[in-house]
Structure formats: C-alpha cells, structure tokens
Amino acid sequence: MLSQRWIEVLVGLFLLFALLALAGLAFKVSGLTSLFPTKSYEISANFEDIGSLKVRSAVKMGGVQIGQVSDISLDPATFKAIVHMRIEDSFNQIPDDSSAGIYTAGLLGDNYIAITPMYSQSFMKQGSQIEYTHSAMILEKLIGQFIYKMGGSANDKEKGNENAPKAQ
C-alpha cells in the first residue's frame, strides 16, 4: 500500500498537471498567444467606416478563416480607418485586384473582413494594399435612416394638407 507521503505527491502532481492544462486551454481559446505561430504576411485596406471591427477579428475568404486583423489606425489626412491584416503564408495566391468588405456574423454577431478574390494573375505579398473596399453596414444607422424617411414622408403629408381648407 502507498504511504501517505506518496499519495500527497501524486495528488500534487495531478493538480499541477490540471492547472497547466487549464492555463494552456485558456490561452488557446482566447487567441492571445500561440505556442507555434504560423508564418504570415501583412496586407492593409482603407475603410470609410469599420463599425465594431476589432483587433484579432477574423479575415475570411469563401467562409474560411485565412488570417486576422493585426492593427487598426486612422489616417490623419483622409480620416479613413487603416486596417492591417495578417494572412497565413499558405494563402499566398490572393489576386492583387481582390476586394474586401466588413460583414457581421449573424444578425448581432462580431464583425469580420471578407476578401473576395478577382481575376488578376499577380498576387498580394507583404505590404500590399487592397484598393476596393466596402465599409461596414451599421444597423443603428440603417434604422435611423429608415425612421427619418418614415418621419419625413409623414411631415410632407402634413405640410401638403396645411394648405387644404379645414372641414368643420
């Protein structure tokens, strides 16, 4: 039979292993770090409005994640958002005339960048910039525009009726 001391050592080793496994799982799920980073190259794109796009948001092509957003900054001259993306080296044949758009995963999900490939025979490389971009559709703006148009048409009807004689 095992002595009390050996049982305590085994329980301690089990707890140490469990804590290391939980720490590894937490880092893997959060995406904060990777033990074996993949080789990648960086490209950029300018957008009028990025909505709620964040650093580490997904970059997808055809629904497959090919990279992630590495940095977001503001161009002081044009006041456009500059989005830098890290693309995995295994996806190194993206045509340089491709377009990028910001979409939402589901109705209220996170934003991501979708790259739509075009037909050029030359490909993007480190430092390339996507010229054709489509900004994010902001749900709040669309609702505001809808309400404004609905309210505007009601106001127009009221104004048109002001000149009509009032029935008593």
What is the pLDDT, as a whole number, of residue 167?
A: 52
Per the model's pLDDT, the better-predicted residue between 38 and 156 turns out to be: 38
DSSP track, 60-108: EETTEEEEEEEEEEE-TTT-PEEEEEEEEGGG---BTT-EEEEEESSSS
Query: Against a cut of 0.85, is the pTM above it?
Result: no
Q: pLDDT tens, 1-43?
A: 678 899 999 999 999 999 999 988 887 777 665 666 778 999 9
Structure tokens at 111: 């934003």
Residue 138: pLDDT band (50, 70, 90) is confident
Asked if 85 contacts 45 with a C-beta cutoff of 8 angstroms, the reply is yes
Q: Which residue has the tokens 């939980």?
A: 22
Residue type, 135: S
In tens, the pLDDT along 32-74 reads 656 667 789 999 999 999 988 999 999 999 999 999 999 999 9
Q: Side-chain half-sphere of 165: how many Cα atoms within 13 Å?
A: 2
Give the phi and the psi of residue 10 in degrees, each rounded to 5: -65, -40
150-160 per-residue burial string, b: 16 or more CB within 10 A, e: under 16: eeeeeeeeeee
Q: pLDDT tens across 77-131, in order?
A: 999 999 999 999 999 999 999 999 999 887 778 899 999 999 999 999 999 999 9
**Which strand (E) or helix (H) includes residue 45?**
strand 40-47
With beta carbons less than 8 A apart as the criterion, state whether 61 and 117 touch: yes
CB atoms within 10 A of CB 53: 20
